[in-house]
Amino acid sequence: MPSAYDGGPVRKGGARGAYSLGTAPEAAPGGHDGGMAGLEGREQPRGDGRATASRWSPTVEDEHALKALELYGDPTEAEVPLPSRPESAATARRLVQVVILRQWGLTAKTTEDAVLLVSELVGNAVRHTGARVFGLRLRHRRGWIRVEVRDPSRGLPCLMPVQELDISGRGLFLVDKLADRWGVDLLPRGKTTWFEMRVTDR
């Protein structure tokens, strides 16, 4: 299983993850929250190692991604609710793909990494929270993208030690390696797990 959930006290700090008690600032003009919730003012450099993303082709997925956008809505405009089922991971991947690659015009590599990581966050939400629905939201400001997965559970995901040959337990390990920042914001009902990546805007 990608990560363990517990109902223990909020942890702060860690390698690149951070937990905060729903302290995201007011939304700034342009649709972004104006800051990095839980990590304001702290530089969190990318890890030394780079995890290998699964093979992915933007051209093959593009048609399906556009259909997903039409069917479920645009996660850059509002949170998109998705049923808490394993097949929703594919829908989330396609929505992330079409937004980052087509709408925002960012690189295939950035898209590939974000597609992999959203799949891990969705997998955690589906397997560990008991939710019927989870929410997907994407935000972009100059130099950064942010992907959020919200669910109604207040159980916190834990970054578990992973050995090189392990085939499970790698969900948050991959997030920690590929994302520049990640964390969890506790909400009055549930939580938002998020990651952010530095990008070069075209």
Return averaged pLDDT per consecutive 10 residues of the chain, 202 residues in all: 39 38 36 34 38 50 82 96 92 95 93 93 83 94 96 78 46 85 93 95 76
Angle of the 88-97 helix axis to the 58-72 helix axis, nearest 10: 110
In sequence order, which ranges of the chain are alpha helices (DSSP H)?
58-72, 88-97, 108-128, 171-178
Nearest to 148 by CA among 140, 43, 50, 107: 140
Distance between CA atoms of residues 62 and 17, nearest Å: 31
Distance between CA atoms of residues 30 and 143, nearest Å: 14
Distance between CA atoms of residues 95 and 62, nearest Å: 10
CB neighbourhood size of 55 (10 A): 6
Distance between CA atoms of residues 19 and 23, nearest Å: 10
Q: What is the pTM of this model?
A: 0.69
**Opening angle at CA 125, ends 123 and 128, nearest 5:** 95
Distance between CA atoms of residues 109 and 98, nearest Å: 13
CA distances from 122 to 12, 83, 91 (A): 22, 11, 10
b/e for 102-119, b at 16 or more Cβ within 10 A?
A: eebebeeebbbbbbbbbb
Distance between CA atoms of residues 188 and 195, nearest Å: 20
* DSSP classification of residue 101: I
CB neighbourhood size of 73 (10 A): 15
